[in-house]
Amino acid sequence: MKIGVIGTGYVGLVTAVGLADLGHQVIGTDMVKEKVDEASRGIAHIYEPGLEEILQKNLNQGNLSFTYKLDQAIRESEVLFVCVNTPQREDGSTDMCYVEGVSQQIAENLNGYKLVVEKSTVPIQTSMWIKRTITLNKKNSMDFDVASNPEFLREGSAVSDFLHPDRIIIGVETERAKNTLIEIYKKFEELLLITNIDTAELIKHASNSFLAMKISFINLLSDLCEKTDADVEKVAQGMGLDPRIGAQFLKAGLGYGGSCFPKDIRALTHIGEDMGLNFHLLKEVDRINSERIQKFVEKIKKSLWILKGKKIGVLGLSFKPQTDDIRNAPSIEVIKELLKEGAQLRVYDPQAMENMKEVFPENSPHIIYTKDSYEAAEGVNALIFITEWEEFAELDLKKIRQKMVNPIIVDGRNIFEPQQIRETGFEYYCMGRKSP
């Protein structure tokens, strides 16, 4: 099947590569020429385990190509996956201008039947607007369908999520669209859930909001644990053993970040309120999450009293491990707060340093980018952990301690076992478990 993938961001690039790997003929397109040039040369502009290998494999096999000419991609394809970004506006609603722009282009280049598949996360009823835009702008009587096939891939495991999905949601309104998508996902036939389009669109927002709610729930309990003798890790374990609850997404800490959860929860709140419904539940989820930063900074202050002039090592900048993505990363807000208080920072992340240098430039007098965790610990009064990269759990803590001026660790992700780390001589602060 000839498939065009519009947009080669996180979702688009992985989708293009994944669909090619399923055996389809795929043409990826993006308006940013550098992204297209890099992808054509087998270079992924994002860090994602396994992505470059499978990109190169499919380029070499000849079933994957890239172009910055959107009209060409539209004309050469029968199915178009729309993977352009859907940014958040000030009021929490979703900015749909890129989706509209693409819909207009599809209308103008409608040279035969096309199935237009929404892959980006979009508000419920977007398909109706895509349909209307194409209908209003098309210059001939060619037929088309719109469908929804939301993407559930997680950054850091995106390729594996695409190739080993737990479900594939297909929202359609015609038999033709349904059969085309069944054909595309033939390999995963038993994982398909076929619904109408509104339902499919809502499943995506609902899933992300529910997961965010689980995280805020455990973070709320984490605060209660700190006021008592309860241990949030054990509370989560105990809750997670109930299969109705499940163990995942019950990790207390600095809260959720990234390009999806913060945006999706606000978008769904906005959609609900727009329709006259009370969506306060989701507003609370957002509020609890936003407060995590301040609570963490309070812990750092509790350990160091005055931050002005203190040296602090900051480990972990990406919004979660296994990615270089810093969008809505808690690290940004934490760093801003610490700089505001006059602290001197030595920071390190295995993948996200280059991205972070665009937010906090390298030549700033108060922030030094270091080559590893040990260098970040050199001469500091405290070491703080913001992202739970695996390599942090494997650090030689004795070596770390020797490098630090004061043996203080403030851990925003509960990476270490409190008793063990305290036995190494550290004063250890963590989330939802007994701290000094």
Q: Using CB under 6 A, list all residues that contact ligand UDX.
A: 151-155, 208, 211, 215, 249-251, 253, 255-258, 260-261, 319-320
**In the bound complex, what is the minimum distance in angstroms from residue 135's beta carbon to ligand UDX?**
30
Measured from the CB atom, the residue of 11 and 383 that comes closer to ligand UDX is: 11
Per the annotation, the verdict on 260 as an active-site residue is yes
Measured from the CB atom, the residue of 330 and 407 that comes closer to ligand UDX is: 330
Structure tokens at 378: 């050199």
Backbone angles phi, psi at 346, to 5 degrees: -120, 110
**In the bound complex, what is the minimum distance in angstroms from residue 318's beta carbon to ligand UDX?**
9
Measured from the CB atom, the residue of 38 and 151 that comes closer to ligand UDX is: 151
Taking the C-alpha atoms of residue 132 and residue 347, their distance in angstroms, rounded to an integer, is 50
The answer to whether the beta carbons of residues 212 and 264 sit under 8 Å apart is: yes
**In the bound complex, what is the minimum distance in angstroms from residue 298's beta carbon to ligand UDX?**
18
Instruction: Look up tokens 């030595």; give the residue.
Output: 346
**In the bound complex, what is the minimum distance in angstroms from residue 321's beta carbon to ligand UDX?**
8
Measured from the CB atom, the residue of 172 and 215 that comes closer to ligand UDX is: 215
Structure tokens at 268: 């769904």
Measured from the CB atom, the residue of 151 and 411 that comes closer to ligand UDX is: 151
**In the bound complex, what is the minimum distance in angstroms from residue 230's beta carbon to ligand UDX?**
18
Q: Can you say whether the dihedral through the CA atoms of 43, 44, 48, 53 is positive or negative?
A: negative
Please give the C-alpha separations between residue 154 and each of 8, 118, 130, 321, in angstroms, as whole numbers.
16, 18, 26, 11
Measured from the CB atom, the residue of 167 and 187 that comes closer to ligand UDX is: 167
Which among 83, 97, 225, 260 is annotated as catalytic?
260
**In the bound complex, what is the minimum distance in angstroms from residue 319's beta carbon to ligand UDX?**
5
Active site residues: 260
